[in-house]
A and B are shown apart, each in its own frame.
Chain A
Amino acid sequence: MNKNLERLYNGLWKENPTFVLMLGMCPTLAVTTSAINGIGMGLSTTVVLVLSNMMISALRNLIPDRVRMPAFIVVVASFVTIVQFLMQGFLPALYTSLGIYIPLIVVNCIILGRAESYASKNPVIPSMFDGIGMGLGFTVGLTLIGIVREILGNGSIFDITITPLNNFHITLFGLAPGAFIVLGFLVAIMNVIRRKMEKAGKPLPKAQGCLAGDCTGCTLSSACTGKSYVHQEDGKEER
């Protein structure tokens, strides 16, 4: 498979940030009260992710190792500020409903995680595709949760009321506990599908955790002393 396409596939399915890596849980649980909010949050994160991945990748040989975290944060924060202002200007309704979670994109684990584990070690183009893949994976995850919560909690989908359902809405799904329950069920469904695919003879490489020795998705990767696996996507040596 083409390496760039592989990155897309990786973000959307194999290491889906929402359902597999379980990263960025704060926006995932907090803003997904409706499908629109889910898409909005997902896409704004995607924009920041792609741009910051490219920027960090371009600067990867310039940023000294010791100060890379502050440097990443500065890059990410700049893009978040741009996105925030654009949103405030052109999508005020969405901006209001997402509220504090827009500035909080700065500390989103997915963005810092991708910067640390991928963009800072790989060239610009693959990093861009990595950002697109991860961002779209996140968007799909958030939108799915948003759709389910909106249907169950509000009887509508993308703000369009579904006639018989709107008399049966369950308030709980609009609140925080509903987010946890929906996320749990979606992860369970995803795991069932994965298992079925594996049985059908399409072994999917699982998202490996620490024990399996894969530090790809781990934000603590650099500080980790028990690393048994050196991440080399490009044949470029680990610093």
Chain B
Amino acid sequence: MSNLLNVSSSPHVRAKDDTSRIMLYVIIALMPTTIFGIFNFGLRALLLVAVCIITCVLSEFLFEKAVGKKNTINDLSAVVTGLLLALNLPHTLPVWQAVLGSVFAIVVVKMLFGGLGQNFMNPALGGRVFLLISFAATMTNFEFDGVSSATPLAVLKGGDAVNTLDMLIGRCGGTIGETSALCILIGAIILILLGVIDLTIPGVYIVTFAIFIILFGGHGFDATFLVAHLCGGGLMLGAFFMATDYVTSPITPMGKVIFGICLGVLTGLFRIFGNSAEGVSYAIIFSNLLVPLIEKVTVPRAFGVAKVKKSKEVKSNE
């Protein structure tokens, strides 16, 4: 785009945004969460973040080298995947498991389906769920301040009260990046201001989920319970950073709303009626699989095109 009289076929992109820039914005927006996570859980968290990012980038590089594809690590998407995966892990996880999860996320979920833009589910979440199924014990071993402790959601599921202020700030057990709702919201505001994500999917997701909790949570409209559910687990991280993944979310306006509703209802179902306390990862992955269908039924009508004639008129034509 550098030369002034560049002649090219459409689309004539004027914006400076490209994949690597958007990925950089996402990394910047994730920084408050990451830094808080490292502050909260210590250097072990930093180690996991570094391991995940390096493994993701390296496995993308090596895979592309092995199959003779163009090198795409400069688009930074592997860095985002690694960072998001690390934020979804407990800081006590053995390093080799983090490495396996990163390799799975990049090679199996992303590259085997054709690389960035072709993956059918969020690679970071694919990696997380792979680890969750494979290493259930270490993936749910949450420590806080050196003491093994249940996550606030698990406490809530057990019927006990939780300190919602701690949950809002993030001074509680959980994965590296999910504890602080505040830091995630700061990141989300950065993303929205930079125009990287729009509020439809996270907004609809959170509202639907809140309504679901009020209706079926068994506490009625209990503000403490509601806030605890909204700040607890991976809901905020998932809603703003993973459900909004361009590749695995619908692009049609109506589709985004449907997608958000799916997410909210599924997360509520998993959390309230499921066996485990958390359900955001599975809800997002499941909804990712529905995206092609959602997009197919929500294709917007182009301006000036008449509505599709109903069957009555077709009959009269016959």
Contacts and interface: CB of A to CB of B under 8 A. Distances in A.
Given A168-B96, A170-B100, A175 B108 contact: no
A172 B108 contact: no
Q: Which secondary structure dominates chain A's binding surface? A: helix
B193 interface: no
Given A170-B100, A172-B130, A181 B136 contact: no
A97 B133 CA distance: 22
Interface in A177-210: 177, 181, 184
Nearest to B112: A184
Contacts of A177: 133
B134 A181 contact: no
Contacts of B135: 170-171
A175 B220 CA distance: 39
A177 B134 CA distance: 11
Interface string B133-164: 11110000000000000000000000000000
Interface in B13-65: none
Interface residues of B, number: 9
A196 B136 CA distance: 40
B96 A175 contact: no
B153 to A, nearest CB: 23
Contacts of A168: 96
16 contacts: A168-B96, A170-B100, A170-B134, A170-B135, A171-B133, A171-B134, A171-B135, A171-B136, A172-B130, A172-B133, A172-B134, A173-B134, A175-B133, A177-B133, A181-B108, A184-B112
Interface of A: 168, 170-173, 175, 177, 181, 184
9 closest A-B pairs by beta carbon, nearest first, are A172-B134, A170-B134, A171-B134, A172-B133, A172-B130, A171-B133, A181-B108, A175-B133, A170-B100
